[in-house]
Structure 1
Amino acid sequence: MKLEIKHWQMLRAISELGNVAQAADALGISQSALSHRIAEAERRLGGKLFEKEGRRLKLTPAGSLITKATLQTLPILERAETDFESNASLNNQVVRLGVASYSCYYWLPDFIKFVNQNTSNLKIRLVASATQNPISSLQHGSVDIVIAPGHLATPGISQTPLFIDELILVTPYLDPLSSKDFIEAEDLRDKHYYTYSQTVLPGFEYDRFISPSGIIPQQLEIVEMTDAIIELISAGLGVSILSKWAVSAALKTQRISSTKLGSKGLDLAWSALTRESEKKGSPSKQLATLLARWYKTM
């Protein structure tokens, strides 16, 4: 074979995350190193994998073919390794866990402790890249379970209800908007507004709160990491609408403040997503059950 595993992983990362910066982040290398890796793969193959389209990379027809093979093959190999780990030791069943939409993991240490107290054979491996493409990650087998907000009904995916959350306006600490009982979309008109996604998701803030009002914030900026949005807001640079669960750690430390959306608020249900093909009692199904039990104690 002309390519090494690092090249196949590179192709998947760029395909799933959409740009070089995020792909380099997910792979744990610099953008420069990723560019060199692309060039090396193209030299070995004797052709172009990508072509530039503005500031983005677009797959060539030949690149699309090999990337399609990558998305089909890598999860099979990774799953084989995980299955080997599980079968090699009854006390080491690895479950790959991701979180959809919001990149927040403050809760993870406490949940791992809960898992360790209640089982002796489940080990959690975090897959941060699942945040951007949760359903695809599950379908391709690169992750075993995803904690996801909203309603993501998809053929072949099972949902285990976890808890009811709330979408809230997040502001700098003690911002004037935080003293209001609730806000309306009009309050966002002149604000610098951060959003974590370019995609309009059904059941989220744009669909249920901003769009129906006909009012769009005049200064809108996309920042694709929840933690980065929190840092910007705590520095007084803008506001955002986020999951209360996702920002609860920052709320507790009084780095930010929050306000309800509309007089009735906007609820947001979270679920654990797994593949329907998983057998009852499989490691991922066990972990979904443990997540539901843990959130009932919170």
Structure 2
Amino acid sequence: MEFNPTLNLEINGVKFTYRLFDALETISQTWSQREAAKSLGISHAVLNRRIHDAEHKLGFKLVYTTGSGSGLTRQAISILDKYHQYQKRLQEETIPVICGGPISSGLLDVLSYHYGLKTVIISTDDLNALKMAEKGLVDVLLLDDPVHAFMHDLDFTPIARDHLVLVSGAQEQPETVQELAGKEFIEIPHSAQRLAWNTLDRLRIDYEIVEVSHSPQNALKRVKSNDDLFTFLNSSFISGIVSGSNLLAEDTMHIINMIIWNSNPQMEDFLEFIIGRGQKIIEQLGFERIE
């Protein structure tokens, strides 16, 4: 579906709907009031009344007529130019801004492409995405870690499932959780890694976080270049790139959340696509479906 907002303008204290500007636009293209009326699907009388009513309220002519047809006066051209400026700004503002963690924002980038939705996507961590949403800077908020949705009592929609995979540059991967004792890890703050650390703490595994990375890409580069470093990354992220261990797959299973911050029919339709036909795409990207 395609949704296009219309624009009304106030000129010299008088409000005019988009119908006047559509009329002026069509007259400028056809150079004929009769052809313009036909193109707009209205009668010539209705078009004339629309133009004359606007001229009366404004106090100056908008359309002139000659033997060869009709055209716009300089005032009308100036008004139409201003209308186009505001219309362009409105169209730019209707491009939804989507902000979220690196995993969920990457997912929405692909989904919006398949849906045919032009978007601005900002990839950051969950906490910064929340701050941007609270400031009214985003239309859609995405969360890699579901705990933030619960902590802030947000009305979220699950769109995919994922789990964490143990990744390292070592040739031999640990086969049991107990073998992680004494290992050194890279942490990605404000991510779903929280689930892995909580599990290791619960099992009283003596591990050590020695580095912090703010992106899964950098964390992956570091562990691949150092056999002594380990990290936990989303299964969807490493799918088809590297292999890892599913030691904590069950303990780290979590949902990817979507919150429509500024609701409109376009976003609601997009969400229906995601939880419907989009689930096949989600599965192809290495996530698990939301049943």
Task: Name the SS for the 2:179 alignment partner.
Answer: helix
**Cα deviation, residue 228, structure 1:** 0.2
Judge conservation of contact 1:95–1:125 (CA < 8 Å) in 2. yes
Q: Over residues 238-284 of structure 1, what are the superposed CA-to-partner deviations in whole Å (9 max), with x where a residue is unaligned?
A: 11112212332xxx13xx32111248453111121222xx4452x44
Which residue, 279, 282, 285 being the options, matches 1:295? 279
**Cα deviation, residue 193, structure 1:** 0.6
Judge conservation of contact 1:157–1:273 (CA < 8 Å) in 2. yes
CA distance in 2, matches of 1:204, 1:85: 47
**Cα deviation, residue 141, structure 1:** 1.4
- Going from structure 1 to structure 2, the CA distance change for 1:129 and 1:287 (only over 3 Å counts) comes to same
**Cα deviation, residue 196, structure 1:** 0.7
Task: Name the SS for the 1:230 alignment partner.
Answer: helix
**Cα deviation, residue 205, structure 1:** 1.4
CA distance in 1, matches of 2:216, 2:112: 22
- Going from structure 1 to structure 2, the CA distance change for 1:228 and 1:106 (only over 3 Å counts) comes to same
CA distance in 1, matches of 2:136, 2:219: 30
Matched, 1:191 2:183: yes
- Going from structure 1 to structure 2, the CA distance change for 1:229 and 1:204 (only over 3 Å counts) comes to same
Matched, 1:123 2:118: yes
Q: Over residues 164-192 of structure 1, what are the superposed CA-to-partner deviations in whole Å (9 max), with x where a residue is unaligned?
A: 211221122x73116x3xx31x3222222
CA distance in 2, matches of 1:104, 1:159: 13
- Going from structure 1 to structure 2, the CA distance change for 1:264 and 1:125 (only over 3 Å counts) comes to closer
**Cα deviation, residue 106, structure 1:** 5.4
Matched, 1:242 2:244: no
Matched, 1:165 2:143: no
Judge conservation of contact 2:100–2:125 (CA < 8 Å) in 1. yes
- Going from structure 1 to structure 2, the CA distance change for 1:260 and 1:176 (only over 3 Å counts) comes to same
- Larger Cα Rg: Structure 1 or Structure 2? 2
CA distance in 1, matches of 2:233, 2:224: 14
Map 1:81-120 to 2 at 5 A.
88-89=90-91, 93-100=94-101, 102=102, 107=107, 110-116=110-116
Count how many residue pairs are aligned between Structure 1 and Structure 2: 193
Judge conservation of contact 1:127–1:143 (CA < 8 Å) in 2. no
Q: List runs of 5+ in structure 2 lacking aligned partners.
A: 1-85, 284-291
Aligned to 1:224: 214
Aligned to 1:176: 172
Judge conservation of contact 2:98–2:105 (CA < 8 Å) in 1. no
CA distance in 2, matches of 1:165, 1:104: 10
What stretches of structure 1 move > 6 A for 4+ residues in a row? 84-87, 200-203
Which residue, 257, 275, 298 being the options, matches 2:243? 257
Judge conservation of contact 1:164–1:269 (CA < 8 Å) in 2. yes
Judge conservation of contact 2:100–2:141 (CA < 8 Å) in 1. yes
- Going from structure 1 to structure 2, the CA distance change for 1:88 and 1:133 (only over 3 Å counts) comes to closer
Q: Over residues 203-239 of structure 1, what are the superposed CA-to-partner deviations in whole Å (9 max), with x where a residue is unaligned?
A: 62112x1110222323521111111001112223411
CA distance in 2, matches of 1:169, 1:142: 35
**CA RMSD of the aligned region, Å?**
3.3
> Quick one: which amino acid aligns to residue 111 of structure 2?
F
- Going from structure 1 to structure 2, the CA distance change for 1:232 and 1:110 (only over 3 Å counts) comes to same
Aligned to 2:80: none
Judge conservation of contact 2:163–2:234 (CA < 8 Å) in 1. yes
- Going from structure 1 to structure 2, the CA distance change for 1:154 and 1:190 (only over 3 Å counts) comes to closer
Aligned identity (percent) is 11
> Quick one: which amino acid aligns to residue 253 of structure 2?
D
